[in-house]
Structure 1
C-alpha cells in the first residue's frame, strides 16, 4: 500500500523538547531538510506502491535514510544505528521528538530500493541535485562535466572455495530432486552444516 504520511507536528509537550529546540538550525542536514519538497517526493514516489495492503513506511523516513546512507557510505544496519543516536538524522527523516527505538528493520531499506527501481532512484538523484543548487552547494557549471569514479568498493562477498562450490551444487541438486518428487536416500544437509565451518578454518 502507499506510504503513510509523516506525523504532523503536535502541540508542545511538557515532558520533552522538540528537535527544533535542541539542534542547530544552521546544520547542513537541517537546511537541506527545509529545502527539499517532501510532499512532491511523496506524490511522485507514491505511484510505485499499490493502493491495497498494509501502508508502507513514510516516504520522508525512507528517502531520508537512503540519502544519509549514500551520503556517509553506510550499510543498512549502520545508517539505522546512526539514526538512533543523531537528532539531526531524525529531524532530516521527519521526526518531531527524539526517538529511542529503531524506525524500521534494515530489510525495509532493501525493499524500498527494489520498489523504486532504477527509474525512481534516478528521479531521487535529480531532486538531490536541485536541492544542492538551491543551497548553492552545487554550481551549475559543475553539472556540465561528468566525472566517473572507478574506485572499487569493498563488498561482503564470500570467496568461492572448492568446498563452497561443491556444497552449493549439492544444495541445487537436492532442490531439483525435491521439485521432481525424487526421493533421496540422504541429502547430507546436516553433515554439511557441521562440516562447512570446520573446512573454512583450513582455508
Structure 2
C-alpha cells in the first residue's frame, strides 16, 4: 500500500523546531530541497508498490532524500539514520513536517530504497533539475533584456 502525505510540507521558515527555532533558508539542505522536483516523481515511485501487500511505503522524498544524504555525507546506512535523527535540516530535507527525536525510519530501509531508485530514475531527476534551472535562467535573461 502507498501512502500519500496528507499535509503539504511547510516552507523552511515554518518548519517546527524545539524551542521555537527556525531553519535558515541559506542552509545547504534547505537550498537543495528546493532544487529537487520531488512531486514530479512521487507518482512514478508509487507505481512500484502493491496496494494489497505490506506496510505503507515511505514517500519518494524520504527515500531519495535519505540516499542523497548518505552519499553526500559518505556515511553507513546506520550512521545516515543517526545523522537524520539529530539534524532538523536533514529531517526537513527528507520531507518531515517538524523535528522529531525518534529516527523516522530503520536503516534497513535504505537497502529497499537502493533497489527501487535506480540510475535511470536518478538521471531523469537530474535532467529535470537542469532543464528547470536553464528555463529559469532563460526567463531571467529575457526579463533583463526587456528592462534595457
- The answer, yes or no, to whether TM exceeds 0.5 is yes
Question: Greater share of helix residues, 1 or 2?
Answer: 2
Alignment of structure 1 residues 1-203 onto 2, 5 Å: 1-2=1-2, 4-9=3-8, 18-19=16-17, 22-53=22-53, 54-114=55-115, 116=116, 120-128=118-126, 130-131=128-129
Q: Which residue of 2 aligns with 1:189?
A: none
CA distance in 2, matches of 1:129, 1:72: 23
Q: State the shift of 1:35 in Å.
A: 2.4
8 A Cα contact 1:32 1:131, kept in partner? no
8 A Cα contact 1:25 1:31, kept in partner? yes
What's the Cα RMSD here? 2.7
Return the index of the structure with the highest Cα Rg: 1
Q: How many residues align?
A: 127
User: Structure 2, unaligned stretches of length 5 or more?
Assistant: 135-148
User: Structure 1, unaligned stretches of length 5 or more?
Assistant: 12-16, 137-203
8 A Cα contact 2:9 2:95, kept in partner? no
The TM-score with structure 1 as length reference comes to 0.54
Single out whichever of 44-53 and 86-95 deviates more from structure 2. Answer: 44-53
Q: State the shift of 1:126 in Å.
A: 3.5
Which contiguous aligned blocks of 4+ residues in structure 1 show a shift greater than 4 angstroms?
132-136
